[in-house]
Amino acid sequence: MMRPMTNPTNPTNPTNPTNPTNPTNPTNPGGTAAEGPVAAVRDGHVLLVILNRPEARNAVNGPLTLALGAALDEADRDPEVRAVVLTGAGDVAFCAGADLKAISRGESLNPPGTEAWGFAGMVTHAISKPVIAAVNGAAYGGGTELVLAADLAVAAETATFGLPEVRRGLIAAAGGLVRLPEQLPRKVAMRMILTGAPVDAETALRWGLVNDVVPADRLLETALGLAHQIAANAPLAVQASKRVARGIRDGAVPAEADAWAASDHEILALMASEDAMEGPRAFAEKRDPVWKGR
């Protein structure tokens, strides 16, 4: 989805950005009564972070960006947190991507001060703590891009993945075009990028987009188990290993800089087109888009 074009800043960290809760059953986030766009709960040395907009299929708007980015920032600074698990509330969607209704209203997905974090406060927010995506349902557009930004991924059997941006007059500018061809065989990635067609969990597993596929009722048990396996290791060694393996330096990945610049250039030009306005508008109006190629 669309990546912010403004200059990066260092966002301040609100006192309680994620509205943390302490659900009685942290492996059932769909059953929590948390308020706010993101909920967070500690499970030993693991931080479980829950995208908490099930009524909008956990789509990303400005408040969710601020809350998720702040939660990741806090996790990275807290020496007691050794791994992060990211999932979505409910049993339908992990994340449906950008909130196209918010975009059609002219709302920014990145509140001032969150630009350096990128889409959803995560895609260019390179923290040292390992992040595991627990994909509980549909992960489309920015949802798949969150999976690409994570270090590991576990998917429910019902999960689906896709980059449908070309069907909305947009491009996958929050890492889809940068990372999918890097993490999947190129022809497989290009088919997903150019057709916008989704793939199921078993296909994602076969091509290495996710590490494991499990029944939905075992998803968080499996993801949290993997996180605790990581957390049992020497934390400084784990963090150093991630930084080297991912090419992280000073909170960024310099090797991706040229690809991000190309993506930014293309989305900036595309957003001035009539088609880019037509796609979100047609989605909001529940009709087929009428493309003009201009």
Is 45 part of a structural domain of the chain?
Answer: yes
Catalytic residues: 145, 165
Task: Specify whether the backbone of 264 is left (phi greater than 0), alpha (psi in -120 to 50) or beta.
Answer: alpha
Is 137 part of a structural domain of the chain?
Answer: yes
pLDDT of residue 34: 59
Q: Angle, to 10 degrees, between the axis of helix 176-183 and the axis of helix 186-195?
A: 150
Query: Which residues of the chain fall below pLDDT 70?
Result: 1-34
Angle at 74 between CA 71 and CA 79, to 5 degrees: 135
Separation between Cα atoms, residue 210 and residue 157, nearest integer Å: 11
Domain that holds residue 164: 29-216+237-284
Q: What pTM value is reported for the model?
A: 0.87
Is 223 part of a structural domain of the chain?
Answer: no
Is 232 part of a structural domain of the chain?
Answer: no
Residue of 41, 57, 67, 147 lying closest to 95 (CA atoms):
57
Is 291 part of a structural domain of the chain?
Answer: no
CATH of the domain at 104: 3.90.226.10
Name the domain count of the chain. Answer: 1
pLDDT of residue 226: 98
Residue of 71, 42, 59, 82 lying closest to 139 (CA atoms):
59
Is 290 part of a structural domain of the chain?
Answer: no
Is 13 part of a structural domain of the chain?
Answer: no
Is 16 part of a structural domain of the chain?
Answer: no
pLDDT of residue 84: 98
pLDDT of residue 26: 46
pLDDT of residue 12: 38
Separation between Cα atoms, residue 82 and residue 279, nearest integer Å: 41
